């Protein structure tokens, strides 16, 4: 009981420290030793005292090269909507390429242990790996969408484990859920299918946004043209395959997971991936500086695309689909074989889960 109240007191303390920073800092010295020490307090709190507070989305003030240390805690369960397949059908599937996943509402996902906070304080969401399904029954999974939106800034996602499995189509991505897709764009940070080892980072827009082939990046453009229009070229949009063969799936989990980052400014949208052993020290210290990270994997420059015109306020989405229009189209034997395999092989989904240590928004 004492630990329960202690966690809540910590949350209140950090909230008021943020309040002081945001509203009173104009009246105080920006180099106030009190503020510097107080606002860094969270990083020195033992993890066992934080408990569920550790599984958070944190909001920071951001300008390129200037990062504040103020943070707010946001509860995944209360600040994200859980998609309910009973109310809304899966938009990434059709009659030819059916989904084998049923997205569970929050209470059902919690009751079936598909979404919970781990003993380490990480947020876990995944696919049922216990039961076999028959007929038209779908395998339970999870899809969540953040209430908060961002437009420009820096996002850093620390994943202790990323999802992968044969027939699976896991993704961490952003879009404007208030607008008809792809009117306000889509940004795919982590996405591929099956047992792939390479991540694909992509940008989907409406007509008129084009990729600058001369923009510096390490990723290999995997699209048929430089047109990012999601309504042409079979929705390939502008995707870049990460040359790092440990950027998706099993390899990305080696050594304790991976970190994925997106920096969005007026001039470019850049994305990076770091395996655990290669995470920059500035990220670990909570003072990220993308200018020293080296070339990004994907780089949508504003040269031929007015970014703020094609990308509206974005919500963060995490989901694990099964089969559907991508995984179902490349599965050996076709979409129906994909569907049946997903139904009949629960053990195949033991790694089909995300375990998120933190998501930090620097705005």
- Pairing relationship of beta strands 101-103 and 139-141 according to DSSP bridges: parallel
Determine the average pLDDT of the residues in 310-318: 95
Nearest Cα residue to 121 out of 358, 283, 359: 358
Catalytic positions, please?
A: 186, 191
Q: What is the pTM of this model?
A: 0.85
Alpha carbon distance 127, 112 (integer Å)? 10
Give the model confidence (pLDDT) of 215-272 as tens digits. Answer: 999 999 987 789 999 998 778 899 999 999 999 999 999 999 999 999 999 999 999 9
First-to-last C-alpha distance (Å) of the chain: 36
Residue 182 near residue 204, CB atoms below 8 Å: yes
Phi and psi at residue 314, in whole multiples of 5°?
-105, 135
Mean pLDDT of the chain: 85
The domains of the chain are located at: 2-67, 77-357
Determine the average pLDDT of the residues in 54-81: 61
Alpha carbon distance 54, 120 (integer Å)? 8
CATH topology of domain 77-357: Jelly Rolls (2.60.120)
Alpha carbon distance 204, 237 (integer Å)? 5
């Amino acid at each position: 009981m004492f630990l329960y109240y202690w966690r809540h007191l910590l949350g209140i303390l950090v909230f008021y420290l943020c309040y002081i920073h945001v509203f009173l800092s104009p009246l105080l010295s920006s180099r106030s030793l009190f503020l510097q020490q107080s606002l860094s307090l969270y990083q020195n709190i033992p993890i066992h005292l934080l408990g569920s507070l550790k599984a958070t989305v944190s909001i920071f003030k951001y300008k390129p090269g200037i990062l504040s240390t103020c943070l707010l805690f946001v509860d995944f369960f209360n600040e994200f909507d859980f998609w309910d397949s009973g109310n809304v059908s899966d938009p990434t599937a059709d009659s030819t390429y059916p989904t084998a996943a049923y997205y569970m509402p929050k209470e059902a996902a919690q009751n079936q242990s598909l979404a919970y906070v781990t003993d380490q304080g990480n947020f876990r969401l995944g696919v049922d790996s216990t039961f076999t399904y028959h007929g038209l029954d779908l395998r339970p999974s999870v899809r969540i969408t953040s209430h908060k939106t961002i437009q420009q800034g820096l996002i850093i996602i620390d994943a202790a484990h990323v999802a992968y499995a044969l027939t699976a189509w896991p993704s961490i991505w952003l879009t404007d859920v208030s607008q008809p897709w792809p009117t306000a764009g889509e940004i795919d940070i982590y996405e591929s299918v099956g047992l792939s080892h390479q991540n694909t980072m992509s940008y989907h827009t409406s007509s008129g946004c084009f990729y600058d082939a001369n923009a510096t990046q390490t990723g290999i453009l995997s699209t048929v043209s430089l047109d990012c229009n999601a309504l042409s070229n079979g929705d390939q949009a502008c995707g870049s395959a990460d040359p790092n063969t440990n950027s998706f799936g099993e390899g990305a989990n080696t050594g304790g997971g991976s970190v994925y980052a997106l920096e969005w400014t007026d001039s470019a949208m850049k994305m990076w991936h770091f395996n655990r052993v290669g995470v920059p020290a500035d990220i670990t210290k909570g003072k990220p500086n993308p200018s020293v990270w080296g070339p990004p994997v994907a780089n949508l420059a504003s040269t031929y695309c007015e970014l703020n015109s094609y990308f509206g306020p974005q919500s963060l989405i995490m989901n694990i689909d099964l089969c559907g229009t991508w995984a179902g189209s490349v599965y050996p034997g076709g979409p129906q074989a994909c569907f049946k395999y997903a139904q009949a092989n629960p053990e195949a989904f033991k790694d089909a889960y995300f375990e998120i240590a933190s998501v930090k928004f620097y705005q």
